[in-house]
Structure 1
Amino acid sequence: MYSTFKVKKNTGTYADTIEAFGVANLISEIQSRANLNWPRLLLEDKGLYYEITSKPEIQIEQIKGLTYFPFFKYVIRDSFETLEENDFNYPQQRELKKERQELIQKAYKEFAGKDKSEQLKLRLREIERIYEEEKYISPQLDVYSQIVTPNNFVGFDKLYRNVSSNKEAFSEIIKAILDYYSDQKVELKTKNLTDFDDSVTALQIYNPTTGKGQNKGKASGASAGPVKLNWISETMKISGALTNMLCQLVKVGSSYDMKVVVPDFKKAEYNKQKQIALAFKKNIKGNTPLKVDILNLLIVNKQLIECSDEYFNFKASNVLTGLHSTYQKDLGQNKAVVNIAELQTPDFIEFNTEDEAKDWVEFLKEQINIIGSIEELGDATQGLIAYRTFLTSSHFQSWEKFIFWYAEHIMSNISKSKYALPFKVSSLNKFFNNTTMSDFKITEIISNEGFQKVAYAIRKSTVTLQYTPKEQRKFEIRYGLAQILQNKSKSAPDLAEFIGEFISTFNAETARYAEKTGQALRANIRENELRQFYELLDKYPSKVVGALLASYGFALTEKEATKVGSDEPALSEESIEN
């Protein structure tokens, strides 16, 4: 009988993860065909290995009764090849993808401009519906597009035919695989099988760190010959890749490189992991390198929350370790691995109720829109690096760096009549009220009446005015305020002095206009409110208070955000379809 299976972490990369998922795919299929009562399958990261647990146990008799089924679909690379019922029709899928992209590009041209943004959204949703329901595009297309390349197809074909050419011995092959992952002796006599190759060449698409000779981390010779790996593990990797891997194009200048992305789960039911991975793949789009990392993390965590039906004591990092992300440089005929990383799930995403879960989904949606609106050029690179570090480290210091940069970015872009998407005050409230990132209590700062009034004054002197038509502006816009705020936040005395002078000017301008016109367009900041703000500087680091002022002072209220239409599509026409 078989109940527990182990997939050792031999490389510490996504190669181990997709192998584990491939084994889970196989066991799930066996459970289904063996007609087990109420089958459950748990996939868990145990540190040195992945553990897959089947309940109930799989009996030897059930293995012997299995008839042949493919571990994954065979791929047809050319339209003139004979297509079997269960084959993956790559030429057809490729054409459907091209057709969809052309429709998307046409929609962006037809509905250009903010006044047509709603029409654009409706059209994009309709295109999405068509290619999910009427002209189905498989979520496996991105992986198959790598499999069909000459270098990868030979290995794929060999591993597929190892099993398909030996249907009579299928139950023996299954038993050998289950024995392999159960630390039992594998007794399959491959020499008695038809055209069976028990040693296969390691392929970079599944094994990013595998190398020989000059390809090794520490070169052992000038030879760059092939590396031989076990047929069982390589077969499972293909199955896992087709389920749990994303091959994503990234734009670098005028060319495209590729990132291989694989969700790495800590502990969850197999079906839940599969559901999250599929939802993640369906919702991503390609972009530039830094934005790809950030958007992928935001999207996969959004899908994780939306797929969850448990809310009490939920912590995202307890379910999802993060994303394996391997950057492959396009060299023409081949790709070279230039970076291997794992992007950690933010430690601060946690909740206890369904309402709190919904708040997180809304916040993540807004973040996806905001990051999607940033053009990865010039100093934006530093801002995006800070944001990515904030997500993967959960350190408030990285948020400080990002938000000071973003406040300046908003002011600069709007002054040049370029699109910029401010935060919403309501979303910031939900975020900071539902998260813990440091030793100090952020909620005590943002709920302070003095803090709220100072943030209000900054907002009414900057972004609110910028979104007001020129002929309707009654006050001067305070350009450069974001940069000054960042500089003065380095010490409490400097920040207190700067805020005091700023509020004094703000109140004087407000009173002067009210006296002149008899209208009170904005509220004065009272002395007791300013005193409450100063008290914060006695308790909390000035950089923290300054960063939170930048967060709220350059955000918009819900009413203001509605007026300026800050709900643009997250990614522009230039975003790459994968």
Structure 2
Amino acid sequence: MYQSTYYVDKTTDTFADVLLAYGVASLLERLTQANGSETTVRVQDAGSVYAITLEDPIEEGFEEIAWFCDLPFIHTSKKKPPDDWPGPVVDYDTERERRNEYFEARKQLSNEAKRPGVTVDEFPELAAVLALEPRPDWDILAQINQMGAISAYAKVLTAWYESRVCFPDLLRLLLALFATTPNDVDNALKRWGDLDSRYRITLTLQEKHKVKLKKGNSVTPVQVLNPAMGKGINRPKADGAHRLGNPDSFWPLEFFKFWGMRRAGVPRIVQPPKPTPGRPPKDRKTYVLRPRNITLDTHDRVYRAFNRAMLRSTAVKIDVLAALRYTDAFLDQWLAGQLADARWGEEPGDYVSGMATAFYKDMGSAVAVLNLAEIGLPRWMRVEDEVQGRAYRALLEEHRQVVDSLQERNADEYRLLQVYRDFLSGHDLDALFVFAAGYARLTMSRIDKGQWSPRFTTTNLEVLIMGHNDKLKPILDNPGFQNIAAAIRRSTVIPQYFKARGQRGPYDIRYGLGAELLRQAAYPDRFVQVLSAFLHDYNRETMQVYERHKGNPPVRRPQVTTDDIQQVVALVDEHGSQTVANLLVAFGYAREPREPDVEEQGEASET
């Protein structure tokens, strides 16, 4: 049991295993720190187990340390810490009141003072608001208390506290438990029974704290930590249904899961898509970061930044924003030189594979788990240098703005969010093309109504697509493809923009052009016919406007040449009409890159 690698079995294939792994890693980190070592602790996904490796091994005698507890006891009106509790304590009611005061104070700030990045020097009134800022772990504390897990939490902390009389023995038991795979829980239970008989811990818990461990060694696992567990029965024969009850779990395992939640869990309340009369439901989602190969130091730095950036949102949008914001937080810490083990040529997905999520539905008097899912991180941003890293952050911000503009109360936008989530988690270009087509229609509608509609830039779109399939590079680099995509742009979003601003341009707006191209995309001949008809009308209109204004039109646009058309037809023959059509629509409704302070008209004046 004195070694450099420990193992946590994947017994549920949910985030319960991840929480346990981070809890065990936290214990190993504390053992090394208490013995004067600053060794690196790494958590790796090793298939059927999570492997926790230490740069320097745990040595015999490391367990001979004073009792400690990094988890705060949550003091509520019904749950109080033991009288002589030496660990940290959080007064729940005080923290809740402070949080309420913080948000009330924020309401009094001007919109300028609420902007990201503002300082106290610019707005002195910010100082009083920042002094009330809630604890970073508030959402975890609130989830434990509000989802009925406070009793289980207090129970395992009290059991950990009373185990101080045999703390080195308990640590030896735990080191032995995770030293091998499969984890020998039965042997650990037997060894705990011996400790309990010798030190009478269970009896002390009952008499002193009114805390009872099931069978003297177990507690009921709560769904906050174990989303797949619930009351039920599983027997080889159809008998004993009267024995229906809760499952059991060795209490230190649940202690570690609570510890792991504080290291890797991000619970958030889900906002309803529409305002509801009375108290809105408190549906919740919990995100737990799934490690691929990451050190605790790197994980902690990114986790803290991600936890700060994760704001509440609606059910589907929050999934997408979680993946985008974590990736951005990772890149931000990386570029700031805070991640010692990050290396050029890698990407955030090499360290964290994604997030395991659970959706908890507020049923009024109870909470039910409605869905368990996985959210993947983008796997198309290998960072070769600092310049590329900053470009990826700009790309992520572009995607965040597009996603953030979609509202789940609208059925079409809700569907777009679902499609984008499928693209992000499944790394599926087809889903991206479906999203681009739907978002193109939405963009035209928004611009017509004078609404803000962020769009992807062509350069970032190319980076994204090339990251998924570099075989499409000949299409994207083709001059004919680029010119025809620009012609689509100059016939749709650009004139629509001018119309919305009351600046009617000389060119007609081609409504439904993207949809028509995609409708015929399955049939190469029909697609080429529709595209050719559009280009014929485009060139004809361009010349008519040129002649009408005697060679000096208010907005110039170049014609599409026969070479352009021939090149695109050749691309259709080589890559297929659906691929070319999807790319033309995606790039045709995107925008050309420009400086941030340049107005949209700049696109229309390009030749």
- TM bin (shorter chain): 0.7 to 0.9
Q: Distance in 1 between matches of 2:232 and 2:480?
A: 65
1:139 equivalent in alignment to 2:136: yes
Q: Distance in 1 between matches of 2:129 and 2:156?
A: 30
1:464 and 1:556 in contact (8 A); partners too: no
Measured after TM superposition, the shift of residue 523 of structure 1 is 1.6
Q: Distance in 1 between matches of 2:323 and 2:61?
A: 44
Q: How does 1:287-298 map to 2 (within 5 A)?
A: 287-298=313-324
What residue in structure 1 maps to residue 30 of structure 2? 29
What residue in structure 2 maps to residue 259 of structure 1? 285
Q: Distance in 2 between matches of 1:215 and 1:102?
A: 50
* Fraction of identical pairs, as percent: 24
Cα 1:161–1:122 shift into 2, 3 Å = closer
Measured after TM superposition, the shift of residue 173 of structure 1 is 2.3
1:314 equivalent in alignment to 2:334: no
Cα 1:85–1:265 shift into 2, 3 Å = closer
Q: Secondary structure at the match of 2:573?
A: helix
What residue in structure 1 maps to residue 384 of structure 2? 352
Q: Distance in 2 between matches of 1:525 and 1:132?
A: 58
Cα 1:381–1:167 shift into 2, 3 Å = same
1:214 and 1:222 in contact (8 A); partners too: no
Structure 2 unaligned residues grouped into runs of 5+: 206-212, 602-607
2:69 and 2:87 in contact (8 A); partners too: no
Q: Distance in 1 between matches of 2:128 and 2:96?
A: 12
Q: Secondary structure at the match of 2:283?
A: strand
Amino acid in structure 2 at the alignment position of 1:44: Q
Amino acid in structure 2 at the alignment position of 1:541: G
Measured after TM superposition, the shift of residue 10 of structure 1 is 0.9
Q: Distance in 2 between matches of 1:385 and 1:454?
A: 30
Structure of higher RCO (CA pairs closer than 8 Å, 6+ residues apart): 1
- My pick for the range that moved more, 484-493 or 151-160, is 484-493
What residue in structure 2 maps to residue 305 of structure 1? 331
Q: Distance in 1 between matches of 2:79 and 2:370?
A: 37
1:442 equivalent in alignment to 2:472: yes
- My pick for the range that moved more, 264-273 or 71-80, is 71-80
What residue in structure 2 maps to residue 575 of structure 1? none
Q: How does 1:149-548 map to 2 (within 5 A)?
A: 149=146, 151-183=148-180, 186=188, 187-188=191-192, 189-191=195-197, 192-194=199-201, 195-196=204-205, 197=213, 198-213=217-232, 221=241, 224-252=244-272, 253=274, 254=276, 255-308=281-334, 310-376=342-408, 377-433=410-466, 435=467, 437-438=468-469, 441-468=471-498, 469-517=501-549, 518-520=551-553, 521-548=556-583
Q: How does 1:37-48 map to 2 (within 5 A)?
A: 38-48=38-48
Q: Distance in 1 between matches of 2:461 and 2:129?
A: 34
Cα 1:545–1:89 shift into 2, 3 Å = farther
Cα 1:60–1:129 shift into 2, 3 Å = farther
Measured after TM superposition, the shift of residue 411 of structure 1 is 0.9
What residue in structure 2 maps to residue 572 of structure 1? none
Q: Distance in 2 between matches of 1:565 and 1:332?
A: 49
TM-score, reference length from structure 1: 0.88
Q: Secondary structure at the match of 2:55?
A: strand
State the superposition RMSD in angstroms. 3.0
Cα 1:447–1:154 shift into 2, 3 Å = same
Q: Secondary structure at the match of 1:247?
A: strand
What residue in structure 2 maps to residue 555 of structure 1? 590
Q: Distance in 2 between matches of 1:337 and 1:25?
A: 28
Q: Distance in 2 between matches of 1:329 and 1:238?
A: 21
Q: Deviations over 1:188-231 (max 9, x none)?
A: 41231443542111111111112332699x99836652221101
Amino acid in structure 1 at the alignment position of 2:509: I
Cα 1:525–1:125 shift into 2, 3 Å = farther
Measured after TM superposition, the shift of residue 15 of structure 1 is 0.4
- My pick for the range that moved more, 127-136 or 5-14, is 127-136
Structure 1 unaligned residues grouped into runs of 5+: 112-117, 567-578
> Could you tell me which of 136, 145, 148 is aligned with 1:148?
145
Computing the radius of gyration from Cα coordinates, the structure with the larger value is 2
Measured after TM superposition, the shift of residue 448 of structure 1 is 1.0
2:433 and 2:582 in contact (8 A); partners too: yes
1:131 and 1:137 in contact (8 A); partners too: no
1:400 and 1:544 in contact (8 A); partners too: no
Q: Distance in 2 between matches of 1:508 and 1:245?
A: 60
- My pick for the range that moved more, 367-376 or 298-307, is 298-307
Q: Distance in 1 between matches of 2:131 and 2:526?
A: 62
Cα 1:540–1:150 shift into 2, 3 Å = closer
Q: Distance in 1 between matches of 2:126 and 2:244?
A: 47
1:215 and 1:224 in contact (8 A); partners too: no
2:6 and 2:178 in contact (8 A); partners too: yes
1:213 and 1:221 in contact (8 A); partners too: no
Amino acid in structure 1 at the alignment position of 2:545: Y
Q: Distance in 2 between matches of 1:499 and 1:59?
A: 72
Q: Secondary structure at the match of 2:316?
A: helix
Q: Distance in 2 between matches of 1:530 and 1:311?
A: 44
